[in-house]
Homo-oligomer: A and B are copies of this chain.
Amino acid sequence: MRKGEQTRQMILQRASVIFNQHGYKASSISEVMKATRLEKGGIYRHFDSKDELSIEAFDYMAKLMYQRYKQALSGKQGLMERLNAVIEVFENLMNENPFPGGCPIINAALEADDSYPTLLEHSRTAMDRLREIVTRIIQEGIQEEELVQEINSRELGDFWISSLEGALALSMLYGDKKYIQAAARHLLAYTQTKRLK
């Protein structure tokens, strides 16, 4: 990796931590300067504006999250093993792993609105991909005859994501894993009611 590219990655990584914890609009370039130990010019050499840095930092985190899910699911067999792998990624977010501040996708989703259309668009794309991961697990469960045919896999997948994202928010609010663990238990129990074998 060339030195310029290394610096760029370092800025993205440290800015991500700030944006994910405190929000894109609420964070200032001076906070990024402090975290990177760079002057303003050193940051703007790599990014045209705070907006560009924000969007690239979001995409950096969204990509990392996607890789996490792919890694967690790699080699997992069967519906329950796969669903538990998804739960584990959510639980790890609570442990500031891969970064502090919780799920970057729901954080950006809650911040972005019509006043910040680029972030809104990128949040939607990232949430689409996250929803797709669980929807596919359910589809595979139906194909592998673990689940009944009558399930609307997209809708059930969205229910999983909604519940886990909401439970992660509660767990972060109280600093207590029990909300995400309870959601996981109930989601698994509910999905069990739709099992064939």
Contacts and interface: CB of A to CB of B under 8 A. Distances in A.
Interface string A153-197: 001101101111111011011100001001101100110010000
**Which interface class (under 10, 10 to 19, 20 to 34, 35 or more) fits A?**
35 or more
A106 interface: yes
Contact of A21 (B113, B155, B158, B173): B113
A173 B127 contact: yes
Interface in A1-38: 21-23, 25-26
Given A123-B173, A162-B183, A190-B190, A23 B23 contact: yes
Given A25-B23, A165-B166, A166-B166, A159 B173 contact: no
Interface string A89-107: 0000000000000100011
Contact of A170 (B127, B156, B170, B193): B127
B163 A183 contact: yes
Nearest to A185: B155
A50 to B, nearest CB: 13
A127 to B, nearest CB: 6
A169 B165 CA distance: 9
A22 B179 CA distance: 26
A115 interface: yes
Contacts of A109: 169-170, 172-173
